Structures are given as structure tokens and as C-alpha cells.
Structure 1
């Protein structure tokens, strides 16, 4: 079975939702702690948040498996994205609150990690590459938008409360400066949400790996504080709160489309 779903659109925009998956195979779940089997660090409901992107003509890609199985937004060789800071890895063994994912002595070994990369990680990245090539051939330039979310308070990863919208462009290297500037202007013009650009979240592996603006691919990561669209304790989706978030995301995605069309013209 293909371990992801891909909606192929016609516009020069690919929305990737790499942490939306929550499936944990039974043989893996049997070795996990009870809390870990709930896949609590999933980017809950981002598929619902970005559902409107299909109507804009965007392609949308998301995996089935939980990031606890394998994190498709980490490099396959396991090197750190933020050296010197705490972070979860390719096949994490701890949750964002620092608790163990696996029962004592049940952690995956190197052979199992390699098998998970082959089963879930590699197909996702093959899909990204093929879809970017297809859209770039159609339009000349394409934007890869990385949709993420996280609890508003995660002491292991950052101090205090996370800004509501966190835009990452790998320190302004993964997309053309004009696009980043216009996206920042959209955030600056509104007053409902706090925001940061290239702060604690600069963009993960996908943003850094595929962002080649000189070669026709700009990548942008948006990390949302979940408190703005869901109940962080029950994981319940809150449509009325989510509506405002969707409007602002929609404004930014429209800019991405305009940007690609200008470059192509």
C-alpha cells in the first residue's frame, strides 16, 4: 500500500503536511507506552485547516504513519536540524514532554530504523520530488508549502508560549526574498495573531532540502500554535476558531500563487 495520499492539483503550489499522519502499526504500538500509542505529538487537524487549498488548485500531500513511526521531516541519516538544542529525531524515542515513547528495552534497532525509512520515509520524498518536477514543468516555478502545528507550550523545545504563526525559510535561503517579504507583510498587517519569522522554527528537513529558488522551487514552512484552532488537551477541532486561521493561511497561499505566476510570465 502507498503510505501517503496525494491530491494532484494544477496550480504551481504543493502543500505538504508531513506530521498529519497518526497511524501506528500494531506491532510497533505493542512496544510503546500507552500515551505514545495515541500519537500525541501529531500535527492534529492540519488536513482540515488546509482543505480549501485543493479549491485553489494546489496539490496536497500527507502521510498515513505517525511521526513516532518515522519522521519524514528529518534527514534519513539522522543528523540534527538544530545542533545544540533538544529535538526529536528520525525515529524518535521520546515525546515532546520528554517522556519515553517505547517500553524499556523495546526501542527500534538500526536495522528496524532502516526498514522504516524504506517503508515510509523514502516514498514520501519520492512523491515530493515527482510532484515538484511535474508542477515545475507545467509552470516554470513552484512553491512547496510545509504545513505544521504544535502545542503552544512545549518547554523541552522553547521557552514560554510559542507565537501563533511561525514562518520559516531556513534563514531566508529556501525561497526568493520577494516572496518572504510579501508573506511577512501579510502577517504584519493583521493584529489577531502573534508571529515570528525564522525564529525557533526555521524550517525542517523538507524546507531546507527542497528549497532551491534559483532552480524554480521556493519552500516555506508554517508552524502554527494549535491553541488557535483546536483544544490542545482533548485534541478536538474548533471550526469557529479555525476559520480565522484559515483566512490568514489562505491570504498567504494566494501570494504564493501570484508569486509563481509573476515569475513564469
Structure 2
């Protein structure tokens, strides 16, 4: 089983998809609790949701599950959100705080997974970011995520529909941030927030170096907007998704017009 799927394009956008994979090697799967084996914290169908919105974007998709190792966590294990409930490089609990493992992975096992999966994903992602940067003189990493709308262990209340993360504006040009924020703010019937509970994961923070022409922005979507229900079997709802895809398509098309030389969209 290869860890990563890469589809190359020539537009300035690279889609990162670190959490859509569902592959778990059998020895690891056997160590999961019955709850863990449901793989409930997957970013369900995000690859399908974005598929075909822009035919020329590059995408880098992790095919392994985040319970194996989380491709959007700091490889050193440092928390992205100090003082708040979150999950680690190899999560020990699910998003509801429930145990995932019959026996927690050892530090050696975690390092093995990091090298075999996390490092391979980021090697592929970095390669594509550099390739696209060489074509355009800049690149926009658009990191694709989704999560259940109500998770008391992680956040209070109901999550907005569009959760945009730029780590307080540090990871991309202000015009990129504004473009995405304005589209989401004007999306009829949807709610949005900038740098709310989700400010951008390790991927966004690590690769976002706007002064060097590497821009990164994270989009965390509430799953209620494209799934039939936010519980097993987490089926895709094409009717809901169609409404959401209109705005996602607009985001990608507008970002493709970004011109760093002018500091604005061309």
C-alpha cells in the first residue's frame, strides 16, 4: 500500500488532503479498540467534495488513516493548541476523548510510523510545492479538512460552516486571506470564521512562508454541509455537497487569479 497519492497540475494551487485516507495496516488495526476501528474521525469524502472543481490543480492525498499517524501534526509531538484539548501525532483518544488503543503505541512505534507515513506524505507535498513554485514564482497550499459540527471535547457549541485558518494572518498574503474570507462571508445560508477554533494545523504553519512565495491556508468544513449525517456510516449527500461546491469552486478559481507581483488578484 503506497502512503500517498499525487495528481499533478500546473495551476498555482496545491491541495493538501492529509485526513481522507482510511488505510490502517492490519497489525495496527488489531490494536485499535472497537470504537477506534470505526475510524470515525476521518475527513470523510473530502477528496470527492473537491474533485473536479479545478482540473489543473495539484493534489497530494495521504491514503493512510490519521490514527496510524496524523499527517497534520508537528512531527516533534508539540501541541498545536497548548492548553486546549486536541489530538497528537499518534492520537491516543478520539475527538470525544475516548481511548483508541488496547495498548498505547510506544515511542519507538510512533517513530516508526512517522518515518513510514508522515515523512513520506510531507516529502511528496514539499516536492509538489517546490515544483509549482518553480512554475509560477509562488504557490498556494490550500489544506482541505472537515470535522463534525458538534464536538464538546474540542470546542463549545456548533462549529461555523467554513473555518479558515492562516495562523493569525502569518501563513499567506493578506489578499489570499481576504479572497477566501469574502467568498465565505457572502455565501448565502452558510456561516464562517477566520482563525477561530482552527487556526491552521502544522502543515499550514510549516509551509506558509509568504515572504518566500509559499502561501498556505487551511479550510476546515463542518461535515453537516455535505454528509447525510455526522455519524456512521458518514454517507456523502450529493444534494448538500452541490450547494457547498459552488463556493469551494469560486474560492479555487479566484485563488488561481492571485498575482503576488501586484499584491492583488489579477
- Band of TM-score, shorter chain: over 0.9
* 1:238 equivalent in structure 2: 237
* 1:50 equivalent in structure 2: 50
Q: Is the 8 A contact 2:179 2:255 kept in 1?
A: no
Q: What's the secondary structure of 1:23's corresponding residue?
A: coil
State the alpha-carbon separation in 2 of the partners of residues 147 and 69 from structure 1: 19
State the alpha-carbon separation in 1 of the partners of residues 161 and 189 from structure 2: 9
State the alpha-carbon separation in 1 of the partners of residues 33 and 236 from structure 2: 25
Moved over 6 A (4+): none
Q: What's the secondary structure of 1:146's corresponding residue?
A: strand
* 1:94 equivalent in structure 2: 93
State the alpha-carbon separation in 2 of the partners of residues 240 and 141 from structure 1: 35
Give, in angstroms, the shift of residue 189 of structure 1: 1.9
Instruction: Indicate the structure with greater helix content.
Output: 1
| 1:226–1:248 distance in 2 versus 1, CA, 3 Å | same
| Equivalent residues, number | 262
Q: What TM-score do you get using the length of structure 1 for normalisation?
A: 0.96
* 1:73 equivalent in structure 2: 72
2:104 corresponds to 1:107: yes
Give, in angstroms, the shift of residue 179 of structure 1: 1.5
1:131-142 → structure 2 map (5 Å cutoff): 131-142=128-139
State the alpha-carbon separation in 2 of the partners of residues 58 and 159 from structure 1: 35
Q: Is the 8 A contact 1:12 1:260 kept in 2?
A: no
State the alpha-carbon separation in 1 of the partners of residues 217 and 53 from structure 2: 15
* 1:32 equivalent in structure 2: 32
Q: What's the secondary structure of 1:251's corresponding residue?
A: helix
Q: What TM-score do you get using the length of structure 2 for normalisation?
A: 0.95
State the alpha-carbon separation in 2 of the partners of residues 153 and 244 from structure 1: 21
Q: What's the secondary structure of 1:207's corresponding residue?
A: helix
| 1:260–1:124 distance in 2 versus 1, CA, 3 Å | farther
Q: Is the 8 A contact 1:167 1:198 kept in 2?
A: yes
Q: Is the 8 A contact 1:152 1:161 kept in 2?
A: yes
2:254 corresponds to 1:255: yes
* 2:176 equivalent in structure 1: 179
Give, in angstroms, the shift of residue 182 of structure 1: 2.0
For the aligned residues, what is the CA RMSD? 1.4
* 1:117 equivalent in structure 2: 114
Give, in angstroms, the shift of residue 2 of structure 1: 3.1
Give, in angstroms, the shift of residue 54 of structure 1: 4.7
Structure 2 unaligned blocks of 5 or more:
none
Give, in angstroms, the shift of residue 258 of structure 1: 0.6
Give, in angstroms, the shift of residue 190 of structure 1: 2.2
1:204-223 → structure 2 map (5 Å cutoff): 204-223=201-220
Alpha-carbon deviations, 1:21-77, whole Å to 9, x = none? 11111101111111211211000000001102451x100111111100000100111
Q: Is the 8 A contact 2:167 2:205 kept in 1?
A: yes
State the alpha-carbon separation in 2 of the partners of residues 8 and 40 from structure 1: 29
